Amino acid sequence: MNRIVPAPIARQPWAMLVPLLLLVAFGGAVLFSAAGGNFDAFAKGHLIRFSLFLLVAAIMVWFPRDLVKFMAYPVYGVVVLLLVAVEAVGAMGGGSQRWLELGFMRIQPSELMKPAIVLALAHFYSTLPGGMVQTWRALVPAGALIAVPMALVLLQPDLGTSLAIAFGGAVVMFLAGLPMRWFVGAGAAAAVAVPLLYFFGLKEYQQRRVTTFLDPESDPLGSGYHITQSKIAIGSGGVSGKGFNEGSQSHLNYLPEPHTDFVFATMAEEWGFLGGLFVLFAFGMILKWGLGVARRSNDRFAKLLAAGMVATIFFYVCINLMMVMGLAPVVGIPLPFMSHGGSSMMTNMICIGTLMMVNGWNRNQPKTGIY
């Protein structure tokens, strides 16, 4: 450890914090431009929310492991109840909705479910005796834990979030050591189920999103418009972009949602390929650090929890970037730390806070020969 820097500061996980802070600041700059050079519109709220949730994350660092383990199922249960409440309010209001109005803020329980499912599964597998990992007892309760919130979120209907929940859960199950053939089998089953799901499970607007993703030019002014305009924004940026505040696609409203789902395209238009590489690199650093935290932990619960959180952030980043570059259908998933929006910031900062928490636990754990 460097002695010039005081220990409390040197102790902080700078390998993650530096890219994160740069990313959020960069996000603020992009949002400033997306609002047409207005700081108050998006950028201010973005930075305030980040500061707030960074504080939350700092507080989470102090949570002891036992408390977190103890709270795992109750937290999961509360979030499921909130999801039910969303459905109930939606049904009474005569329309579907995704959030709950709490007076001081609006919360989206489906967002909270992403870290909550990871927490619950990590706890489940950490308590599952090692001998049962190969048996149905490792699968069925975990499957139920995933299926209930997925079903509730699909009812909203929000395909992107339910897939995110499934992905987080699946990664925890995979890392928990469940037999490989189950995953292969599940992959095969998915290959069969996806077409069936497409024709019978998806709403028409969701079907259209998939078909236009496959051929965006088929309907350039209709549903393919989002993907086409996003690709134009990214492609027209070139190597170094059109310059800060000079993006015509975002400023003239050709790009849909330039401050939320398509913030990466807004960025790429003005900062070009170099800006894109920076964003990819920053996410890479954060995720690499997160995975390192998971691997360094000696505790099964902490390992699975940290890895699940990394997977959750990764899912956001991966699906969002694939979507804006025309590699995935438009599913409405924002880009962590850059998109304007409280819910995604909250989820991702909970993930970061959890990782910082596990990082803190790691520091206090007995050293082993491996690490």
Partner 1 sequence: MRKKRRQTPVTSNTLKSRFDRRSFVLASVGGGIGTLLAVRMGYLSIAENEKYKTESESNRVNLTLIPPRRGWLLDRNGAPLASNRADFRVDIIPERTPDAEKTLDTLGELLGYEPQKIQDLKDSVEDARGFQPVEVGTGLTFDQFAAISVRLPDLPGVVPQRGFTRFYPTGPSVGHLIGYVGPASAEEYELDRNPLLITPGYKIGKDGLEKQFEQELRGVPGARRVEVTASGRIVRDLDTRRDVQGDPVKLTIDGPLQDYAARRIGLESGSVVVMDCLTGDLLCMASMPSFDPNSFSDGIGRVEYSMLREDERVPLRNKVLKGLYPPASTVKPMVGMSFLKEGIDPEETVFCGGGLRVGNRVFRCWNRRGHGHVNMAKGIYQSCDVYFYHLAQRTGMDPIAAMARRYGMGQEFPIPVTSQFYGTVPDPAWKQKKYDRPWAAFDTVNATIGQGYMLSNPLQLAVMATRLATSKVVMPRLVLNDKVPNFEDMGVSDEHKLAVRKAMSDVVNGPGTARRGQLPISDVLMAGKTGTAQVVSLTKSDGRSGPWKYRDHGLFIFFAPYDNPRYAGAVVIEHGGGSGAAYPIARDVMTFMFDPGKGMDALRRYESQWGGTAQQRLERKYARYAAEAGEDVLPQPTRDEEIFARVDAEARMVAEETVEETADAAINRSQNVDSTSAGTPR
Binding footprint of partner 1 on the chain (CB under 8 A)? 130-131, 133-134, 171, 174-177, 229, 231-239, 248-249, 252-254, 268-269, 272-273, 276-277, 280, 283-284, 287-288, 291, 294-295, 300, 303-304, 307, 311, 314, 318, 321-322, 325, 327
Q: How far apart are CA 163 and CA 325, in angstroms?
A: 19
> Which residue in this structure is represented by tokens 């499921």?
80
Nearer to partner 1, 203 or 295 (CB): 295
Nearer to partner 1, 57 or 306 (CB): 306
Least distance (Å) between residue 311 CB and partner 1: 7
**Residue 150 φ then ψ, to 5°:** -60, -45
Nearer to partner 1, 159 or 302 (CB): 302
**Residue 358 φ then ψ, to 5°:** -65, -40
Other beta carbons within 10 angstroms of residue 253's beta carbon come to 11
Least distance (Å) between residue 283 CB and partner 1: 8
Nearer to partner 1, 57 or 319 (CB): 319
Nearest to 316 by CA among 353, 343, 293: 343
Nearer to partner 1, 207 or 298 (CB): 298
Nearer to partner 1, 22 or 232 (CB): 232
Least distance (Å) between residue 291 CB and partner 1: 6
Least distance (Å) between residue 261 CB and partner 1: 16
List Cβ neighbours of 304 (8 Å cut-off, separation of 6 or more). Answer: 118, 121, 122, 125, 126, 172, 175, 176, 294
Q: How far apart are CA 88 and CA 105, in angstroms?
A: 19
Q: How far apart are CA 162 and CA 323, in angstroms?
A: 17
Least distance (Å) between residue 216 CB and partner 1: 12
- Reading the block at residue 30, the tokens are 């992009």
Least distance (Å) between residue 109 CB and partner 1: 27
Cβ-count burial of 191 within 10 angstroms (0-12 exposed, 13-18 middle, 19+ buried)?
exposed
Bridging pattern class, strands 100-101 and 106-107: antiparallel
